[in-house]
Structure 1
Amino acid sequence: MPSTSVRPATTRRGLWGRHVRWSMAGLCSLSFVVNYIDRTTLSVALPYMSADIHLTPTEQGLALSAFFATYALAQLPAGALIDKHGVRRVFGIGAFVWGAVTMLMSLVRGPILLIIGRLVLGVGESVGYPGCAKVVSKWFPKSERALANSVWDNGSRVGAVIALPLVTGIVALFDWRWAFVFTGGLALLWVVLWFFTYRDPDRHPKLTAEERALLVEGGARLGDEETGAGPKIRWRSLFRYRTVWSMMIGFFCLNYVLFFFITWFPSYLVQERGFDLLKLGIFGVIPGIVAIGGSLLGGYTSDLLLRRGWSLTKARKTCLVSGLLLSSVIGGAVLVESAAAALVLLSISYASLAFTGASIASLPADVAPTARQVSSLAGIQNFASNIAGVSGPLITGALVALGGGSYLVPLLVSGAVAIAGAVVYGVGLREVAPLPLPTQ
């Protein structure tokens, strides 16, 4: 039986020895940088692929949407598998799958294999969100949990920004096939780094006794799934809790608004505000950049309130409710005359969503009945959020079409959905605390 004790590394005084937990957060952030680069490679390379292998618009649409179908559904088993078999093993295997299949997409000659590849990519990348939530739950005390979650969550924004110049540069210098080889290779390099450097706290050789005491005393979820110790809870039992449904519906509402920025935002600037390509390239990135700061501020604020003596419930719910309420200013963007004013409101909205996201990512660790359910809960709430990721852009498109190209109704609806999400977190989420063990 493996030992779970840690050598008290009292002689280590370097930054690594004092702050191993933040290196773990950085490792997770890097995974999301690569994650988003890999999932975005097709979007950037698609115009060149289509000309080469003769893809119809319908086939292109199927290839793009196939990823989200399996990505959403696979959240549920991914979270459960991480809880059962450990984050190091399952996260590493999932990242290997998404890196390998990205590289293999360089070999496609037609739509069938491309669509299959995107389906498999969604399965592989599904380990990202529940995996990072699990790492933070193990490696951080409650008072640092939200900020740590904002660190890895911002990896997605950095990856989305890097993907465009990186992939277009590779395509211009070489070929679209080499873009898949290179970006998939990044994931495989991350897998090597992951297996060489990640260990759970009780098995990490560089964790000092001082830092471990900080985790234990601060409420880190240090339960060891692989020993099989502790009460076993059926996965489906988690759906009995009102708190879990509040987490699902609230995250659905946030992602409904968020996916406007991921999908329809450029079209809005061009069609509604008259931006040309140059203006779109210069000003279109502003909300995303502001959102990075919003995410870090959200994590810092939630943790600061907790350190100042606020209850976990009050600290988390304050950030959840206020962030979603402020994000509803997206509805005001269509009511102002100035394009600059609209861009300011949209930047505030996007940053407020990111502000909220840090506390949302902390909820699975905050409320899991035992450490063995953290990833399962993360997968459940991220599954619900990705239903919004699929349905939200479709609803927005339908409303734009019904309005004759106007974004008035779609953005007002988005603002209303944000307010609904704030109500769900404010009223439905009664307490942020470990859930009682269900009766079997």
Structure 2
Amino acid sequence: MNFYSTNNTAHQVEFKDAVFNSMPQDKGLYMPEHIPQLPYSFFNNLDQYTLPEIAFHVAKAMLDGAIPDEDLKAIVHDAINFLAPVVKLEEQVYVLELFHGPSLAFKDFGARFMSRIMSWFLEDGEKQLDVLVATSGDTGGAVALGFLGVPNTRVTILYPKGKVSDIQEQQLTTNGQNIRALEIDGTFDDCQALVKQAFTDKELNEKFRLTSANSINIARLIPQTFYYFNAYAQLLRQGKSKVVFSVPSGNFGNIGAGLLAWKMGLPVEHFIAATNANDTVPAFLKTGVYEPKPSVQTISNAMDVGNPSNWARIADMFKDDLSAVGKLIDGYSYNDEETQQAIQEVFDEYNYVVCPHTAIAWKALKAWQVQNTSEDVTGVFLSTAHPCKFPDVFTDEVAAAIKVPASVKELEGKEKQAVALGKDFEGFKEFLLENN
């Protein structure tokens, strides 16, 4: 399987090159030359498969021989060694819990799979791999833990100053070893712009072997499809075969993976793109005009993205008929006050605590169900992070109900290790060159 740039379909590379180069020089994103259709036998047996078995079948189809089956199976079983349960809250409302990995966020699927893919491809004596990653919150922690101690790799995480939660910052900045953190005086979009510019800078690319761990990397996107198939398998076991997914959306990699799963044959009825005040995509779905804008800070910080990178992939998947996106996806956006109300409503109704991102997905799902009444369509909203990562957004009553994992308690008292930088590229470039 070759992968092409969304800006130039003639520019094609093998999977290994797409993973290590991360982003083509033309600033597009890599996509598979064709999206494989999974066979009938896979779907016929889907409800009998475990999550790692599902992940192997999906990855095998997408990678198409780039990694031998037995090695790929070992990578999958090592990377996806935690659960992603679908939990029933009411008859037609389920939550897909994606926070049971090491960093307590859905990003663990992509980060752990990608780190092991890169490690498999790295050969003895090769130049050190420098992984650059911008984070609005959860990506950094997942990447840090995914790559911690991986030989011949060094990870540089850029995060916006004052715009991540305390626990998120601890996960980013207390690792040491081959992980280093840069506290950027700007927004996530500024961090993302610095990473993208680094990939097109000639001097940096001659000096370093650069790659990215952001969702712009195709090796991050592929494993995010796994939990859509797995969620559907769990619903099949409960006699439910029609599903709509409501997805908290920031950089649009998460819902992009869901659409990729749909393209591979997963019979999803509909998708809901749920955003905070950064509503570029919901606005497009309403008006037909795609107009990126500067991001604004919200309590659902991981979704504070005004110009989502992965929209290029979604547009590419529907390039033959972009209007079809509007038929498959509905967009909803909510402000901080509505988000906090949703957190309280979920707690009052189900005695269940959700993080602010998850609350937005629940609220969007409920709004969609009011407009689309159907007794046989099950709504699943994605819970993308453990609520303990956002203690400041909860009332005392809700906060008291949160069970804090032991891994979070272990972070307390660890020393922060971060370098403060501005948002100018020259300062970032100088740091990289001087700290080789």
TM range (shorter): under 0.3
The structure showing larger relative contact order (alpha-carbon pairs under 8 Å, at least 6 residues apart) is: 1
TM-score after normalising by structure 1? 0.26
Choose 1 or 2 for highest CA Rg: 1
The structure in which a higher percent of residues are strand is 2
